[in-house]
Structure 1
């Protein structure tokens, strides 16, 4: 009988304890802070170095064409031969044209004799003024034809317009050269040039006459040391490609080193003048469909999404043209679930960040 009364009492005790546990207040859950790492955006007075590839070509290359049709009678120079300005480099057979010139000269002499006689007759009023005019016209036509034939004859002797080296010889003596046939090519290789493309953001920091470094792979083949050659900017083209936003630089290699030839592959290293640039790490840059932006941390430890306009990539840094003024704390790590106006906790000391590099070398194909 006592055991039957004990079980209900035990059950009431357990239920009472359970109710007490439920009535106890729970501990408030702590919200973990959003951790970020930052760097300070700094303005640096730096120069930017870029390496660009190109091919050498002669500063002047002339293709020689004939203006008159004829058989090639002389072509004394071959590829690699040097010619001087004004030197005869080709002759065409001009015998037919010379016979036409002889006839024109004879007609000129006859017209001159006739004119002298008719003037005497006009003075004595033995002929009309119209006859004098006719003879004068015949003489003028004969002289003009003679002059035209002499000019055409000069085209049968072809002289070099420049001093240079024959790079192409496209025909042989005995061949018939139709009018405007390409006979040969002469190049002035005293100075070799190359053209490279460069971002519009760097063009304004370069000037004609600036020195550059040039490396020619063919000259350093088999050598342990890289041979650097001096060059200079000889021309900056005024137009910018609207698609690539790049401009063209002409680089002159002078003096030409032994072994350098037109067509060789070259590497050009350009260094811009020093300029103040605001740089942040590239990993800080965020992109959306409409804009580029970075997250900056304010005095209240809240982040702001700050739109920026970017410029040059310099190593692992990116230039900021607009949006930042310098000195801002920019988030570089901790972007997961990061949003505008969110409170964060900085886990690194901005003053302890590594300094930004002062130069950059970029290799592009």
Structure 2
């Protein structure tokens, strides 16, 4: 009796070998591209003015609150002026007495009844009394603190009853038209910017609002650690809803470049022997092509070196590729 083993007609047969990997490709065509950057900063007033006390005194009135608009010369803070007013009244009385003595001395000097030296001493006393009165008038005026420029009140730092000393900040104003935005820009990008260049600014709080801005100045030095340079933008006429302190994003054009070759980001690979490469087809054969990538533009990468117009670059099906191995183009697999 014989015994046969097996599981069917295909028993013992080997699985068919997998065919060449299927790939999709694009053929490179030079393009004109706009290289740009987006940087983030915080909107600030075009000018920030801190109103400070010049005289010591107790605050008796604060005439403004945050958000108030003030004109130049408007009262913002009043200090207690009673002590200085009393000193001024005394000084003015002394001045009147000194002036009377000076008039008498002039008459007596003319009659030869007093010497010129005595008359000069009396005139000096008059001048000192006048200077003292002028000083106290000035100090009295410092108790009435006014806005030096027109603007909007950003902050008030004192309340009624506080003691203000010289140089004590009282009120902070946003002065001047428009807003300012300072943003850090990479040293590699700032070389393409110039004062007067335009930018587009958006704020997260109002995503549908786009505002025109202009580069006012570029700071002269890069920050030592980050190698970034501060660029100052001005927004001449922002909407009223856009306020200082808002987070803003500025888009700036760096360069209009012609005849550029680009590949999808997914086509750019990293290797152990070469930092960056792409797969290109030589007929039906895959080849590794080392490249030097540049800027990224809308999901694609500028290729500075390594590729030429007309090269066929693999963009899909990269997993099974090997250098020198055969490939099969998928239907409709080559495009531009």
Q: Secondary structure at the match of 2:214?
A: strand
Q: Give the corresponding residue for 1:102.
A: 89
Q: Give the corresponding residue for 1:250.
A: 232
Matches for 1:198-277 after TM superposition, within 5 Å: 198-220=185-207, 227-238=208-219, 239-275=221-257
Matches for 1:19-58 after TM superposition, within 5 Å: 46-58=33-45
Matches for 1:1-365 after TM superposition, within 5 Å: 46-188=33-175, 190-220=177-207, 227-238=208-219, 239-275=221-257, 283=268, 317=301
**How far 1:44 moved relative to its partner?**
6.8
Kindly tell me the number of residue pairs found equivalent between the two proteins.
Answer: 295
- For the aligned residues, what is the CA RMSD? 4.3
Q: Give the corresponding residue for 2:16.
A: none
**CA distance 1:275–1:149, change in 2 (3 Å):** farther
**How far 1:167 moved relative to its partner?**
2.4
**CA distance 1:44–1:154, change in 2 (3 Å):** farther
Q: Distance in 1 between matches of 2:164 and 2:122?
A: 39
**Is the helix fraction higher in 1 or 2?**
1
Q: Secondary structure at the match of 2:125?
A: helix
**CA distance 1:312–1:114, change in 2 (3 Å):** farther
Contact 2:48 2:174 in 1 (8 A): yes
Q: Distance in 1 between matches of 2:87 and 2:235?
A: 50
Contact 2:260 2:303 in 1 (8 A): yes
**CA distance 1:287–1:106, change in 2 (3 Å):** farther
Q: Distance in 2 between matches of 1:51 and 1:193?
A: 16
**How far 1:276 moved relative to its partner?**
5.9
TM normalised by structure 1 equals 0.63
TM normalised by structure 2 equals 0.68
Contact 2:194 2:218 in 1 (8 A): no
**How far 1:287 moved relative to its partner?**
10
**CA distance 1:46–1:127, change in 2 (3 Å):** same
**1:303-358 residue CA offsets vs partner (Å, 9 max, x unmatched):** xxx9x9x97565654675xx99x99x9x999xxxx9xxxxx99x9xxxxx987xxx
- Structure 2: gaps spanning 5 or more residues: 1-25, 278-289, 328-333
Q: 138-147 or 110-119, which moves further after superposition?
A: 110-119
